[in-house]
Structure 1
Amino acid sequence: MSTSLGNSRRDADLSKLFSRRLVLLGGAQTLMLSSLVGRMYYLQVVEAQRYHTLAEENRINLRLLPPPRGRIVDRFGVPLAINHQNFRVLIVSEQVKELDATLDRLGKIITLTEGDRHRVMRELKRKRRFVPVPVRENLTWEEMAAVQVNAPDLPGVQIDEGLARIYPLGENTSHILGYVSSVSEDDLANSSDPLLQLPGFRIGKAGVERQFDRVLRGKGGNTQVEVNAVGRVIRELSREEGESGAELALSIDTRLQQVAADAIGEESGTVVVMDVMTGEVLAMASQPAYDANAFTRGLTSEEWKNLVGNPKGPLANKPIAGQYAPGSTFKMVVALAALEAGVIRPEQTVSCPGHYELGNAKFHCWKKGGHGAVDMVNALKHSCDVYFYEVARRLGIDRIADMARRFGLGSVTGVDLPGEKGGLIPDRTWKRAVMNDVWHAGESLVAGIGQGYITATPLQLAVMTARIANGGLGVKPTLVRQSHRDPRLNLPDPKPPKDLGVVRQHLNIVQQGMWDVVNSPGGTAQRLKLPEDLGQMAAKTGTAQVRRISKAERDTGVIKNEDLPWERRDHALFVCFAPYDNPRYAVSCVIEHGGGGSVVAGPIARKVIVETLKLDPARRAPETASAVRPNKEG
């Protein structure tokens, strides 16, 4: 009996314990279920909008679209840089069973180099299998059509259409326009523009393409595309086109640009044509040149090797980056400085026996027998070195330097191009700072004929000539057409040029000397006189030595330029303006190692000024000049 009672009590205790555990388990389950329900409510109701947005972002991608690059045209609207239809052939790896066989078949239709094949294989390994990889760009219409016709035999191969930058005039405008090329790592590091992240996007690397790259790029558009879980595009949902780049109108006349390039021919040199009233650059040829289209499509290693290995420097922008001793073209500046300082009167003569002695040193005139007694006008006409040795000695370098800088030498002009050099106009302060030495009297003599430390760019020489021609107005060169200034270019409004403060009578004397160079018997460029119907031009010849002539060589006879290696020959220079009675155009010409200025550079400049006067592009311009030249009597 007692045993049964004990068992019953034990069973009752176990039942109570089981009931308590059941209650606890049920409570825990209820609590967990409540938490799950609460969390589901929070996610599906409270956070519903947020997770809907995240899901849409995973399903819909917003992609940037490159805008059309802005056109570049000349002063009359002739296209210089445009966008051309670009057919590309692409290949998608996941759609190709036998990649090598497909490339072999494609190679029988269009030209594929081993380099193309290696590049494609490398890109296919780097990218996802569904991402198209470019095989070749810039297909001709015939090549594109051939690929399309053979599409059934080329699984995974497709044609894509885009825009490529084209330069219709090729080499003739390459140094002005520059070129576009692929974005580099440095470009990415120095810019926050998302357009640079686009595959195949190209930016300006030289010339005005680089100078105005941001406004020529335009603003990107966008497209919304639906993608699957691995990022493959399913369909396009919407598209918003971007804003094309600004159109850039240059002051260049393509006809004159062609004339200038043809006139230089096989020589290594440059010609600059400038409007003396507005500063607009009408032509700026640099020879030899390069084809900017080759940079757009991508240079081969052989093409690059030929460019960098050419001793005549086809990649150098000679008008703004070539720094040359100005030689006798500098004598007008020295004459103006002398007249302003009063160290010599224009009618006062200096005797030239063919050399000038200073201490134990002897400085030679280009004419061995000398010019006899010459005044300022005749010294310019005959380009007498001895006259300017004497004038420079009286002046000193600082007063020469001051006048040179007023006429645009010794600092960058600020033309609308990157990479411009400033040349060098030395003075006593410069020599102390750079060489820790005093200025010597003999150095002033050499500076008086545009040699020694003095260097200038061809564009600076054109500016100098324009300021002499226009009556002493400080015009500055520009390549952007003043009547077509797109607000997006953010350029300052043109201002009338400042007066340089040079006495008008002094300018008349220098202009008369330049007139005599061409139009008076005995002038160094008399044979370059213009046809009567085109009026008259004023000019100055120049020859700049690039080597030192020893006393022994002078005693035995100076070696002629044609008997020297090309790189040791003198530079030939020539500056001029026309028409003389109402100046409008200035021309500077520098031919590297060309020899004499009157023999080589002069005829080239004459061809250009003749065509300039015939075409008269400045007076055909729609706007009026921004400055009025003082009359001859001033």
Structure 2
Amino acid sequence: MKRNPRDLETTHRKLNRRTLLVGGIQAAFVGGLAMRMRYMQVDQADQFRLLAEENRINIRLIPPKRGEIFDRNGKIIGQNIPSYRVVIVREDAGDVEKVIENLTRLIPLNDEELARARTEMRRSAPFLPVTLADRITWEDISKVAVNAPALPGITPEVGLTRVYPQSDDFAHVVGYVGPVSDYDLSQITDPEPVLRIPRFQIGKVGLEAKREDLLRGKAGAKRVEVNATGRVMRELDRREGQQGADLQLTVDAELQEYVQARLGDESAAAVIVDCETGDLRAIASAPSFDPNLFVRGISLADYRGLTENTYRPLANKTVQGTYPPGSTFKMITALAALEAGVTGPDDTVYCPGYLEVGSRRFHCWRRGGHGHVDLLNSLKQSCDVYYYEMALKVGIDKISAMAQKFGLGVKHNIPMSAVARGLAPNRDWKSRVHGQDWLVGDTANASIGQGFMLASPMQLAVMTARIATGRSVSPRLVKSANGVEQPTGAGEVMDLNENNLRRLRRGMYAVSNERRGTAYGSRIIADAFRMAGKTGTSQVRNITAAERAAGVIRNKDLPWERRDHALFVGFAPFDNPKYAVSVVVEHGGGGSKAAAPIARDVMLQALYNGQPPLEAYPKKDRSRIKAQQERLQGGRRPKARPDGKDRA
């Protein structure tokens, strides 16, 4: 059938219009797509490239090297050593238990660490490394490396860990580090990302914790390429971190070791202060503990052994322990009375063995009394009645103020854990804390360092250094940080009558060097190093009237925990003070018998900068001292080697 030409023309026009419309739509779509592609590939190229890089490149922190700790002579106290460990990647190992079994044939594996590793593997992604053995020897790490083809997923690694070569000598001073715990993180506002690195170590107690800001350093970073599952493919570049500051302490490691050994098995503390600078030359608490046990996690058995020990080895008795200072406080009472002008150094007090205050009788330690005594003889024979009288004349508020002037009841700023403030009580304190009025009996008790009065061994050493020099000596533990010398604690001259101080020092000299002195048996014979001191005995129990009438029970007949504390403070040489010392022996009985001999021995060790000659001791003691020196030299505790083991 033949179509009309006009119809054909109409049809062609319609087809052309439709073709043009569809073509235009297609052209517009292609043009829009091209513009979008240009926008994404050219205009937004940098943004999408960044997003792609973030998915492909990870930035990971590099733990900083911790600053090391040295004694005043450069002897290492806290150091970083290479720590060899073996890690496993679960997805590369295949049969994990089979691989672990093969590994145990090569090196010894700790059951506790294996249990911990299995727990970590269950919680971690399969591509993350988990530690199977830590702090292993170079020989063991070599065995693993040689047998690597038979141990799929096993990798030997090397890192740094903390070790304390001096072992228990500096445990209470330096403290220790340990892995960051959830509790640690909860105590820090906005913790640094480096603290979330697995097994990253921070200071837990002692100097390690208090100067964490200096010792930790700054973390570095590295860029690594990872695949779609997050597993590291290669390292692209790294920026090393900033090492922590090295700290040099004022403590002499050799002297510290001797003091710790001399304290022996006692529950005791000793502090030696340099009178010129305030440097803590030794600060020892006994018994001690090995801080290396805590670095990687102490066992339950070891920890129980420390916490259940009656002598409390974890407690730092030098700064944390506070004790009634007993008769070592008498210099403060005397000085308060002298400075207030209520008595003179030559004035005497009659001691019949007690002083009646109201309806109460306050006894002297010597039942029959001391008769007429002046300042010198009251110190020399430690007459209590003299100080009762002085205290009632001057009052507790002036005694408390004088105590604080000499560093008692004051929290000294040294970087150690749990530094105690102690207590130098007054009327306001008792009203505020106990809601009670101060009683005259409280004043009598405080005058001889009993009642509410409390002081730490370090505070007593500072008090003695201030008496010896007349300056406000302050304790210093850190000598330098990264070679920069820290301010000394020499202090300024105190606003006190120098004649009064001279009288106190002369009385303390009599205590140690005159026959009726309470520390005469522990005197130093060497003329150049004569020591002045004061004994003290502080009661830890009340003595009833009935017991006093029947006869006070001797300390040796009491259970250990009910015996008196023994104390001694002193300085030497008398005419040019170099060191001040304090010793506290918990439940040691009398200060003259338990504390003074220790103080004399450690003072001589400091003055001679090593073992003193026998000629420095009284003749009757020399054979005993010789045997003691041989025992201490031969029986020093073994120290930790850099590999974490012990050496003789």
TM-score between both structures, scaled by the size of structure 1: 0.92
Deviation at 1:354, TM superposition (A): 1.4
Q: 1:487 to 1:529 in 2, by over 3 A?
A: closer
Question: What is the CA deviation profile of residues 379-422 of structure 1, one whole-angstrom value per residue up to 9, with x for unaligned ones?
Answer: 00001111111111111101111111100011111123242110
8 Å Cα contact 1:215-1:246 kept in structure 2:
yes
SS of the aligned residue for 1:615 comes to: coil
Cα pair 1:416 1:478 within 8 Å, conserved = no
Q: Is 1:549 equivalent to 2:543 in the alignment?
A: yes
| Aligned with residue 507 of structure 1, among 501, 507, 524 | 501
CA 1:328–1:584: 2 relative to 1, 3 Å: same
Note the 1:361-440 alignment, pairs <5 A. 361-440=360-439
Shift of the alpha carbon at 1:449?
0.4
Shift of residue 194, structure 1, vs aligned partner: 2.5
> In 1, Cα distance between the equivalents of 2:390 and 2:220?
65
Q: Which runs of 5+ in 2 are unaligned?
A: 612-648
SS in 2 for 1:230: coil
Aligned AA (2:584):
V
Q: 2-side partners of 1:204 and 1:543: how far apart?
A: 37
Is 2:536–2:567's contact at 8 Å kept on the other side of the alignment?
yes
Conservation of the 8 A alpha-carbon contact between 2:279 and 2:488: no
Residue correspondence of structure 1 range 478-557 to structure 2 within 5 A:
478-481=476-479, 484-486=480-482, 493-494=487-488, 497-532=491-526, 534-557=528-551
User: 2:72 is matched by which residue type in structure 1?
Assistant: R
Q: Which amino acid aligns with 1:598?
A: S
In the alignment, is residue 457 of structure 1 matched against residue 452 of structure 2?
no
Correspondence for 1:476 among 451, 469, 474: 474
Q: Is the 8 A contact 1:215 1:488 kept in 2?
A: no
Q: Please point out which of 28, 34, 39 is paired with 2:36.
A: 39
Q: Which residue of 2 aligns with 1:624?
A: none
Say which SS state the counterpart of residue 24 (structure 2) adopts. Answer: helix
State the distance in 2 between where 1:74 and 1:487 align: 13
- Asked whether the equivalents of residues 355 and 362 of structure 1 are also in contact (C-alpha less than 8 Å), the reply is yes
- Residue 80 of structure 1 corresponds to 77
Deviations 1:214-268 (A, max 9, x none): 2111122222222222222222222332221111010000011011101110011
2:255, 2:610 within 8 Å by CA — same for their partners in 1?
A: no
Partner of 1:594: 588
Q: Please report how far the alpha carbon of residue 328 of structure 1 lies from its aligned counterpart in structure 2 after TM superposition.
A: 0.3
Distance in 2 between the 1:333 and 1:15 partners?
A: 124
Query: What is the letter of the counterpart of residue 170 of structure 1?
Result: S
Post-superposition Cα deviations, 1:97-137, rounded to whole Å, max 9, x if no partner, equal 22112222323333334432332222112222221111121
Give the C-alpha shift of residue 184 in structure 1: 2.4
TM-fit CA distance, 1:335? 0.7
Question: In the TM superposition, what is the alpha-carbon distance from 1:487 to its structure 2 partner?
Answer: 7.8
For the aligned residues, what is the CA RMSD? Answer: 2.2
**Distance change (3 Å), C-alpha of 1:246 and 1:485:** closer
For 1:161, the aligned partner's letter is V
- 1:95 lines up with 2:98 in the alignment: no
Verify: 1:565 aligned to 2:565, yes or no.
no
Structure 2: which amino acid aligns with 1:126? R
1:213 is aligned to 212
Deviation of 1:587 (Å): 0.4
Q: Which residue identity does 2:70 align to in structure 1?
A: V
Question: Equivalent residue for 2:180?
Answer: 183
Residue 48 of structure 1 corresponds to which residue in structure 2? 45
Counterpart in 2 of 1:256? 255
Alignment correspondent of 1:172 = 169
Distance 2:473 2:194 in 1: 38
Q: Post-superposition shift, 1:316?
A: 1.2
Per mean C-alpha deviation after superposition, the further-off stretch among 199-208 and 440-449 is 199-208
d(CA) in 1 for partners of 2:600 and 2:225?
A: 65
Equivalent runs, 1:61-210 vs 2, <5 Å: 61-188=58-185, 189-210=188-209
- Give deviations 1:48-72, integer Å, cap 9, x for gaps: 2332233233333222211211111
**Alpha-carbon distance in structure 1 between the residues aligned to 2:490 and 2:553:** 49
**Contact kept in structure 2, 1:138 and 1:297, CA below 8 Å:** no
Q: In the alignment, which residue of structure 2 is the partner of 1:340?
A: 339
Identity percentage of aligned residues: 46
Q: Verify the 8 A CA contact 1:328 1:540 in the aligned structure 2.
A: yes
Q: TM-score, normalised by structure 2?
A: 0.90
Residue 588 of structure 1, CA deviation = 0.4
1:290-323 superposed Cα distances (whole Å, 9 cap, x missing partner)? 2111111211111222222222221111111111
Mapped partners of 1:595, 1:15: distance in 2: 126
Contact 1:179/1:209 (<8 A) preserved: yes
CA distance in structure 1 between the aligned counterparts of 2:275 and 2:190, rounded to whole angstroms: 38
- Deviation, 1:8, is 8.6
Is the alpha carbon distance of 1:16 and 1:306 closer, same or farther for their aligned partners in structure 2, counting shifts above 3 Å?
Answer: farther
AA in 1 matched with 2:153: G
Residues in 2 aligned to 1:495 and 1:390: alpha-carbon distance in whole angstroms: 35
Distance 2:557 2:264 in 1: 21
CA contact (8 A) 2:69 2:246 kept: yes
Name the CA distance, whole Å, in 1 between partners of 2:9 and 2:484. 94
Q: Are the counterparts in 1 of residues 523 and 531 from structure 2 also a CA contact under 8 Å?
A: yes
Secondary structure of 1:318's aligned partner? coil
Aligned partners of 1:118 and 1:26: how far apart in 2? 72
* Contact kept? 2:529, 2:607, Cα under 8 Å: no
Q: Aligned with 2:27: secondary structure?
A: helix
- The reply to whether residue 607 of structure 1 matches residue 601 of structure 2 is yes
Mapped to 2, the partners of 1:514 and 1:558 lie a distance apart of 28
| Change beyond 3 A, Cα 1:494–1:260 | closer
Instruction: Supply the distance in 1 between the matched residues of 2:9 and 2:525 (Cα, whole angstroms).
Output: 136
1:412-465 Cα distance to aligned partner (Å, 9 max, x none): 111232421100111011111111211111110000100000101111000000
